[in-house]
Chains A and B, each alone.
Chain A
């Protein structure tokens, strides 16, 4: 199996662990990820909010390159990238005016896009293409007894819900159940917002949201929170000291990319998964699972 792969900007900065672990995990499963040539930022949430039409062109440039490379599917790891790219596709398909405008913009840089590249979340590929049965066959280090809080974030299945329930997604639950982990399946905050970019503009508001998520995780007895988005991950992990300062709490919960923890279960070397690069130490997680 081979997929064209779009890492997204955060993969080169705060989300290095996501990128490294996604590549290592897929390699272990016999899937090769071929990086998209000369990709650009998807535009993320901010660009959409201020200049919508331009943002579609920015996103569509990546899809045009995918088409040029002869692929009709594109694997994405970041929830925001996933939603943004898929949204560009959808708006182009539904509105001929958007389609024409985007074509015009792409034409100016000598590119073209027909709208036929399917944007796939890496979780979608894991569950629906590889399949849980095949995944489970590769599990060599069972996560027995590890309490995992599956944190999907707001853009994992919303608004489109292409491969999971819009309001109550369960794919991550099922993936970790296959590793033998003790998944908190009734994790109440699984799709609540982490605050996103608000952390930089209205820290108080974002910290409140993170605080609630951390409370929910602790209430469920989580040993580790797993995330599917670089922004969720960094907010939940790196801002724990700020949350503690604001709310007088003492959170020190390991937060990992779900690909990191899944990689561990498949016996990938923690260094290859960049687990040592996490802000909150994951030593407790590594110690809790048998070698």
Chain B
């Protein structure tokens, strides 16, 4: 065994670390520690010259153990391990000491930070002599990809992947793909009709031979690891045979349950118990709502749908189907929910008529919507005055702190549509700041000013029905402080549109858990790096796209979907992928075959060998969580890279000072 020669590199990270930690002092101290042959500091260790320091010392000084005191290992451990490897050192003989996230960023006092940095570093100096060389495990990659969510993001990602010849499973919870975009009338700032640009893509996805469309389906379980995910998808019973149904809608005409609020029309229109959400649905197949259908509720019905159906596609006996398949990569494109403005009682949503959400207005202004595209009040009359309230449930510490990014622009679009349909109608936009940041957006804003829309800078205080003047009689009144004029105004309006913010889907957290990644503080899916890895997650092989990551407009969503598809392709286009060798190992000589590890393993990566009477780890399936190590009563399973003596040495190092 050659003697341990440890090299220490202390990164300033600009002023991120050096601003709090006395780098010179810690570096000089480290040089005095046992086994340390060289101790250096550098402004940016992750830069090429920084990495070259490591390489040179390995080659010239014969350094055989390295500790880099810098940022979190989730950030740059791969960078430095690659450098070590390039210089001929096994990458697992390099350890990171996290003196940024764990120290300089969270410690106020400089002396304390310096002492803490020493301890963090000392832990790794003590550990390194116990580290062993490890080799990455190479596993085969399944070339198929699963895309979860069939909105514009999911459709785009699926089409891009299909174009490369890869098999794609597109899973959508609703009976049709299309997502929120299918509900919109026009899109800002170009005013293209949303359906005109979306439906060709929906249709292409539906017909694509490489895309297996699993609509009205939900992912129940995900197991496995990068390149080899095992997926369980529940295909919910539609009670309609999708092979024979032609989507002719004759059953819809026949159904006697006619007053179910239509989800697609935001409850403004009605649908039948057997329904097709909208005429351009893909797949164009009927679905029976089991909670509304009389037959399925066990009530009497003459089943006119069955009589009306030519191909006899209706099947009341149909059951949910559970599909198991494997994919190499997963793209999450599960979208958003509109923030429900009911809790913001001062805006009277749900209390006063004609106070509506932005998505409700999308349906009202849509030619295929419940009013046939006529912008009308509940009583059928055209509004003479409309107020659009920005930032409802957005940029508000009481609800959601974040800016939802799209509301300013869709509000402008609403103004334009109202002016186009009803030129005599007064339109008021009540905004905090106008955020017109995209290509052609500022120009669109300018255009709306020319169209005679009243822009009032101020967050609306209240929507009231109390009339103080004849002009306000029988109308809604929006109270607002106009911060440009410095006065409190009362704006009479017949219709009030609440430009609600975008919220994470209610089940975002549990879905993220199912797939093994996390959510940001605001509830949206957490990307691996906010700038450089915006479509990756902490789980290798799982990517994110669209509004599930953060509110964004259609161009950004489509761009991100393309990036996620490229990320997935870069993975599944390879025959194999290297995975971390930090997996657990069970010594058959010591195992008593008690089964405890088999029962606790969350990834079913341990199987019991009947013949030998011992437990065995399936290396490729092991994710290195360490649960078996902790659970075993005889201390048999050992996890490479996290051996007991390594961990104890680390603790001793931290406590020694």
Contacts and interface: CB of A to CB of B under 8 A. Distances in A.
A249 to B, nearest CB: 10
A188 B467 CA distance: 11
Contact of B467 (A168, A211, A219): A219
B468 A215 contact: yes
Nearest to B348: A188
Interface in A157-176: 165, 167-168
Contacts of B344: 167
B90 interface: no
B351 A219 contact: no
Given A167-B346, A168-B345, A216 B351 contact: no
Contact of A215 (B346, B348, B351, B467): B467
A167 B465 CA distance: 16
Interface string B35-57: 00000000000000000000000
A182 interface: no
Nearest to B488: A208
A29 interface: no
A143 B351 CA distance: 26
B301 interface: no
Contacts of A168: 345
B345 A212 contact: no
A81 B493 CA distance: 38
Contacts of A165: 345
A156 to B, nearest CB: 14
B204 interface: no
A219 B345 CA distance: 20
A35 interface: no
B466 interface: yes
Interface in A64-104: none
B373 to A, nearest CB: 32
B576 interface: no
Contact of B464 (A167, A188, A211): A188
B466 A215 contact: yes
A212 B346 contact: no
A27 interface: no
Interface residues of B, number: 10
A36 interface: no
Contacts of A167: 344-346
Nearest to B462: A192
Interface string A188-224: 1100000000000000000000011001100100000
- Chain A: number of interface residues, binned into ranges: 10 to 19
Given A167-B345, A167-B346, A168-B345, A188 B465 contact: yes
B10 to A, nearest CB: 38
A189 B464 contact: yes
Nearest to A216: B466
A44 B312 CA distance: 76
A212 B466 contact: yes
A153 to B, nearest CB: 15
Interface string B336-360: 0000000011101001000000000
B466 A189 contact: yes
Nearest to A217: B466
A169 to B, nearest CB: 10
Contacts of B345: 165, 167-168
A188 B468 CA distance: 13
Contacts of A186: 351
Contacts of A211: 468
> Among B345, B346, B348, B466, which residue has the most Cβ atoms of chain A within 10 A?
B466
A212 B468 contact: yes
A189 B461 CA distance: 13
Nearest to A189: B466
Nearest to A219: B466
> Among A186, A188, A216, which residue has the most Cβ atoms of chain B within 10 A?
A188
Nearest to B472: A215
Contacts of B465: 188, 219
Interface string A242-284: 0000000000000000000000000000000000000000000
A168 B348 CA distance: 10
Nearest to B463: A188
B466 A188 contact: yes
A188 B472 CA distance: 15
A216 B468 CA distance: 9
Interface string A1-22: 0000000000000000000000
A165 B344 CA distance: 11
Contacts of A189: 464, 466
A215 B348 CA distance: 18
Contacts of B466: 188-189, 212, 215-216, 219
A44 to B, nearest CB: 25
A151 B346 CA distance: 15
A26 to B, nearest CB: 31
Contacts of B464: 188-189, 216
Contacts of A219: 465-467
A56 B464 CA distance: 36
Nearest to A169: B345
A189 B348 CA distance: 12
A136 B411 CA distance: 49
Contacts of B468: 211-212, 215
A113 to B, nearest CB: 31
A168 B467 CA distance: 20
Interface string B457-497: 00000001111100000000000000000000000000000
A223 B563 CA distance: 66
Nearest to A213: B466
A157 to B, nearest CB: 11
A165 B346 CA distance: 12
A248 to B, nearest CB: 12
B408 to A, nearest CB: 25
A161 to B, nearest CB: 12
A236 B160 CA distance: 67
A3 to B, nearest CB: 31
A225 to B, nearest CB: 14
Interface of A: 165, 167-168, 186, 188-189, 211-212, 215-216, 219
19 contacts: A165-B345, A167-B344, A167-B345, A167-B346, A188-B348, A188-B464, A188-B465, A188-B466, A189-B464, A189-B466, A212-B466, A215-B466, A215-B467, A215-B468, A216-B464, A216-B466, A219-B465, A219-B466, A219-B467
Interface of B: 344-346, 348, 351, 464-468
Lowest 8 A-B CB distances belong to which pairs?
A168-B345, A216-B466, A167-B345, A188-B466, A188-B464, A188-B465, A215-B466, A215-B468
Given A188-B464, A211-B468, 15 more contacts: A165-B345, A167-B346, A186-B351, A188-B348, A188-B465, A188-B466, A189-B464, A189-B466, A212-B466, A212-B468, A215-B466, A215-B468, A219-B465, A219-B466, A219-B467
